[in-house]
C-alpha cells in the first residue's frame, strides 16, 4: 500500500487509515455481519473525531458496511458517493490487486480521482 501512495505522491502521514472491525477475524476471513456491527460505533466515532472530507472505501466489506448492502464493489468502484457531507470513493481492496493484477489500473485511476477531489477541496496530500 505504501508503494502505491509513493507512486501517486501521497504522503502516508497525511492519511488516517481505519478498519470496519478492530480485530482480524480467524483465518483472516471477511468479518461476519455481527462482527462488523459490533465495531461500527467505534468507526463512526473515529470519523467524528477525524472529520474527513474524503473517505476511500477499500473493498466490498468497507463499502457494504459504510454505504449499504445494496452497493457492490464492481459496479461502485471509481464513482463518488456523497453522504452527510463526506465524499466516498469505493475502490478495490489491496488484497484484490494481489489476486488480479489487472485491477491495479482501476485502483490507480480511482486514487487519481481522490487526488483531484482533494485538490478541489484544498486538502494537502
Mean pLDDT confidence for 94-120? 95
Domain ranges of the chain: 2-120
CATH topology of domain 2-120: Uracil-DNA Glycosylase, subunit E (3.40.470)
- CA pair distance 37, 20, nearest whole angstrom: 9
pTM (predicted TM-score): 0.92
Confidence of residue 4 (pLDDT cuts 50, 70, 90): confident
- pLDDT at position 125 over 80: no
More confidently predicted of 13 and 61 = 61
Residue/partner pairs of 110-116 with CB below 8 Å, 24 or more apart: 110/56, 110/77, 110/78, 111/4, 111/8, 111/10, 111/56, 112/8, 113/78, 113/80, 113/89, 114/54, 114/56, 114/89, 115/8, 115/9, 115/10
pLDDT, averaged across the chain: 93
Q: Is 68 exposed, middle or buried (0-12, 13-18, 19+ CB in 10 A)?
A: exposed
pLDDT for residue 5: 76
Amino acid at each position: 500500500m505504501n508503494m502505491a501512495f509513493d507512486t501517486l505522491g501521497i504522503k502516508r502521514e497525511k492519511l488516517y487509515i481505519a478498519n470496519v472491525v478492530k480485530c482480524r477475524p480467524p483465518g483472516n476471513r471477511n468479518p461476519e455481519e455481527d462482527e462488523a456491527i459490533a465495531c461500527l460505533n467505534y468507526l463512526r466515532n473515529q470519523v467524528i473525531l477525524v472529520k474527513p472530507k474524503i473517505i476511500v472505501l477499500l473493498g466490498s466489506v468497507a463499502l457494504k458496511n459504510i454505504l449499504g448492502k445494496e452497493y457492490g464493489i464492481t459496479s461502485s468502484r471509481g464513482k463518488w458517493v456523497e453522504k452527510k457531507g463526506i465524499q466516498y470513493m469505493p475502490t478495490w481492496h489491496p488484497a484484490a490487486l494481489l489476486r488480479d493484477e489487472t485491477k491495479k489500473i482501476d485502483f490507480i485511476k480511482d486514487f487519481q480521482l481522490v487526488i483531484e477531489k482533494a485538490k478541489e477541496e484544498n486538502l494537502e496530500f
